[in-house]
Structure 1
Amino acid sequence: MSTQDGPILIIGTERSGSNLLRLVLDAHARIAVPHPPHFMRYLSGIPYDGDVDAMVGDAMRLLRHHIHPWPHVIDRAAVTGAAGTSLFGVVSAIYDQYRVAEGAARWGCKSTFMVEHVDEVLAELPDARFLWLVRDPRDVAASAKRAVFGHCHPYRMALRWTAEQDLARAALERWGPEVVHLVRYEDLVSEPDREIRAICDFIGEAFEPAMLAHHLGDHARVTASLSASWRTAGDPITTARIGAHRRGLSERERRQVESVTAPAMETLRYPFDGASPAEPAPGPLRVALGGFAVRMAVEARSLCTDRNHFRRWRRDVTVRRLRRRAKPGRAPVPAGESR
């Protein structure tokens, strides 16, 4: 695989426009970016001890119960034969098989949780490139309140956003702008032609006009049809969701988010209320009860509107079973915290 054909990974925090960026990249004739089963997110805590067959088996089980089914059948024996001895080697072999089925030259991954695995990816595939996608954390928190994926409580989402931006910034500082490229959601939707051309320059691809009309493709249509949380995947690029927190967060929630995220917001050029850093943190019980109440409302809405609602439940059951083999002392990832 040449440098130009290395994979492209979107990193950062969920609810930041990663489906939009995935579909923009997928609209390029040379790039294939399926919706991710979040292999590394769910499997990296399991002590495989180099057992490739076990890693492949668990990855294939996740893929079989994926909430956004892939249009191609992945051959388990071929994955086993192509995979290295690491978990990401297995993941790479699965994605590469998808790439071949799509007739593309390179693959991409939009699992933003890969921000935790940048070094592992580069150890396996030194030619990988990362798009650090960042969005105003208040809008991220507002989006998460209505989504079936991620933390529903804005304060918890703010903590995640801060931690993941810190990881992405560290990756940029360690590997440099030739490997990690910062993309601000607000810039992407405000100046899509300019920003997508800059992304193409970074990944070494020629710009294609189809990237500006991602919503017209079959993959966008399918994604939008599966879940209310993905409905905007079928829309053209728009600035309508900039500032969504003004409608989606209360004043107290906004201050709580800013109290956690202010330092990173300043670095990333997001203005905030100077008084917010003094906002006291909500108590754990308030966060737990508030998050639970919102989650129940979101689940009820999903039951009525989402075509993949029961697939998501089956996926979560599968993940819980796999986690029983997690390393002792490693906190498991709560089910449902992915898109």
Structure 2
Amino acid sequence: MTWQRRLNEALRRYAGVRFERVSAALPDGPSDGPSDGAAETSPETPRPPADPAHDRLLTAPVFILSPVRSGSTLLRAMLDAHPLLHAPHELHVRRLSVGYGTSLARRAMEELGHNQADLEHLLWDRVLHRELARSGKRYIVDKTPANAFAYQRIATCWPDARFVFLLRHPASIASSWYEAGAGKRTPEEAAADALRYMKAVRRARKGLTGLTVRYEDLTADPERETRAICAFLDVPWAPEMLSYGTPGVIRKGLGDWQDKIRSGTVQPGRNLPAPEDVPEPLRPMCRDWGYL
């Protein structure tokens, strides 16, 4: 036994704490997510639930996959106004992890048929189910933008999950991301960082089946778009979705959508940038998404 392990064992025995090596994952925050093209990994291979009837409490959870600054907060508020849909704030459950305190705990879990990824999936499902049960509604909606980097893991955890892809003009995303940074990023850095999310969403759209919604369409004709979303989710359309929120309540950190949330009604979005004003790094994505 090395001196590090002896020290750790003594700390565990007498103080109830121990040291663990921290992985080199990127920290949570606005730029959460692996670098473009990197796959989200687990210490052990993620796999679908072995016994879905007992391993999962949630039924058909809904995930909004979108880049940052794409209107996901607006869409979340509209969906949360539906009597059957509970859409809480960003939960980042994929960043919750579990570990074995001892080798005995590992062996005990292995005897039950669980690897570490299985246990994490049980935790994620329980956290989301608790929020859903407390709401009294039928389905939960999670709109954490960084989930796009882990779409495969999410689809593995919940094989019956449903996905809504929310797109916005890439140049509008980059501009909003720059403005939200309050001097933290240059326009070029904001465009590059936002592009990582766009590429993650593009990969998710190729790898999953789901409904694509455009922010510009959502703000131009919210009834038509919310009716399409409800049809996809197999729930009746609810007019409350068009008059969500509490008038007069200011919610911080919503940027472009603060006034929309405050008023409780959907307002028109920004004018689209002229083609000549689109930064060169964003042009391929604009063409891919049909904006150029």
Q: Which range, TM-score by smaller chain?
A: 0.5 to 0.7
Tell me by how many angstroms 1:241 deviates.
2.5
Tell me by how many angstroms 1:127 deviates.
1.1
Alpha-carbon distance between aligned partners in 2 of 1:24 and 1:32, rounded to the nearest angstrom: 10
1:207 aligns with 2:257: no
2:128 counterpart SS class:
helix
Residue equivalent to 1:127: 160
2:68 counterpart SS class:
coil
Alignment equivalent of 2:180, drawn from 147, 170, 174: 147
Residue equivalent to 2:262: 234
Alpha-carbon distance between aligned partners in 2 of 1:142 and 1:86, rounded to the nearest angstrom: 40
1:11 aligns with 2:38: no
Q: What pairs up with 1:162-173 in 2 under 5 angstroms?
A: 162-173=195-206
Higher relative CO (Cα under 8 Å, sequence separation at least 6) belongs to 1
The share of aligned pairs that are identical, in percent, is 26
Alignment equivalent of 1:183, drawn from 213, 222, 242: 213
* Cα RMSD (Å): 3.1
Q: Do the aligned partners of 1:52 and 1:85 also contact (CA within 8 Å) in 2?
A: no
Residue equivalent to 2:280: 259
Alignment equivalent of 1:24, drawn from 78, 82, 102: 78
Which letter maps to 2:251?
S
Alpha-carbon distance between aligned partners in 1 of 2:176 and 2:287, rounded to the nearest angstrom: 21
Structure 2 unpaired stretches of 5+: 1-52, 102-115
Tell me by how many angstroms 1:203 deviates.
1.4
1:107 aligns with 2:136: no
- Point out the structure with max Rg over C-alpha: 2
Q: Do the aligned partners of 1:161 and 1:261 also contact (CA within 8 Å) in 2?
A: no
Task: Check 1:153–1:52 CA distance in 2 against 1; reply closer, same or farther (3 A cut).
Answer: farther
Which letter maps to 1:225?
R
Task: Check 1:150–1:13 CA distance in 2 against 1; reply closer, same or farther (3 A cut).
Answer: farther
Structure number having the greater helix percentage: 1
Tell me by how many angstroms 1:16 deviates.
0.7
Which letter maps to 1:231?
Q
Q: Do the aligned partners of 1:30 and 1:106 also contact (CA within 8 Å) in 2?
A: yes
Task: Check 1:110–1:198 CA distance in 2 against 1; reply closer, same or farther (3 A cut).
Answer: same
